[in-house]
């Protein structure tokens, strides 16, 4: 158990309650300020709850705005990641790998990836670049997009999303 030294706080609170009860039981009206017996000091606990409320309300509001900002930004980024992933895989299907392992790239892959992203993109996202060809030694389509954060609490900023879709062996547009 942790003991916090607040002086004789419990005794003072008990005596104040005793004074209030004494006036209620005796039917006397209280005149003047309520003094604590023994110390003859004034009751100074007036308005603390209002001050506490006035301090905590803005702090709680800022905390909730921060959570809302994070949640909306995270949802926007996830939607953009889904659209970018779909577009990167669609663009990768246009890559042709010859039997000798040579990767041949057409400009149609970039156009298809851009078309897929533009048809699925959320309103707060924009396509930055598309590159279909050899990435990390494999046939793939690399797509970069940006999404705007919510900006409710923190200033709005651009979040970059990168997606790469590799060509799976035997999966091309002609095979489907």
* pLDDT for residue 34: 54
Q: Are residues 31 and 110 in the same domain?
A: no
Q: Are residues 125 and 154 in the same domain?
A: yes
Q: Are residues 78 and 18 in the same domain?
A: no
* pLDDT for residue 107: 79
Report how many domains make up the chain: 2
Asked, for residue 155, whether it belongs to a domain, the answer is: yes
* pLDDT for residue 74: 96
Query: Which residues does the chain have with pLDDT short of 70?
Result: 1-47, 169-176
Q: Are residues 111 and 24 in the same domain?
A: no
Q: Which domain holds residue 131?
A: 51-175
* pLDDT for residue 102: 77
Q: Are residues 118 and 103 in the same domain?
A: yes
* pLDDT for residue 97: 76
Asked, for residue 64, whether it belongs to a domain, the answer is: yes
Q: Are residues 103 and 36 in the same domain?
A: no
Q: Are residues 145 and 74 in the same domain?
A: yes
Q: Are residues 55 and 72 in the same domain?
A: yes
Q: Are residues 168 and 92 in the same domain?
A: yes
Asked, for residue 157, whether it belongs to a domain, the answer is: yes
* pLDDT for residue 49: 77
The three-state (H, E, C) secondary structure of the chain, written as one string:
CCCCCCCCHHHHHHHHHHHHHHHHHHCCCCCCCCECCCCCCECCCCCHHHHHHHHHHHHHHHHHHHHHHHHHHHHHHHHHHHHHHHHHHHHHCCCEECCCCCEECCHHHHHHHHHHHHHHCCCCEEEEEEEEEEECCEEEEEEEEEEECCCCCCCCCEEEEEEEEECCCCCCHHHC
Asked, for residue 4, whether it belongs to a domain, the answer is: no
């Amino acid at each position: 158990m942790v003991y916090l030294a607040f002086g004789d706080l419990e005794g003072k609170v008990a005596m104040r309650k005793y004074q209030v009860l004494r006036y209620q039981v005796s039917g006397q009206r209280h005149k003047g300020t309520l003094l604590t017996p023994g110390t003859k000091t004034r009751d100074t606990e007036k308005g603390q709850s209002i001050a506490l409320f006035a301090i905590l309300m803005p702090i709680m509001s800022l905390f909730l705005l921060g959570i809302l900002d994070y949640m909306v930004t995270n949802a926007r980024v996830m939607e953009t990641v889904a659209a970018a992933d779909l577009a990167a895989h669609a663009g990768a299907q246009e890559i042709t790998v010859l039997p000798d392992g040579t990767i041949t790239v057409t400009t149609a892959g970039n156009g298809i990836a851009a078309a897929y992203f533009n048809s699925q993109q959320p309103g707060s996202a924009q396509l930055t670049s598309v590159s279909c060809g050899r990435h990390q030694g494999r046939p793939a389509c690399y797509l970069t997009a940006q999404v705007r954060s919510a900006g409710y609490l923190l200033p709005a900023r651009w979040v970059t999303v990168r997606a790469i879709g590799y060509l799976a062996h035997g999966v091309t547009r002609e095979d489907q």
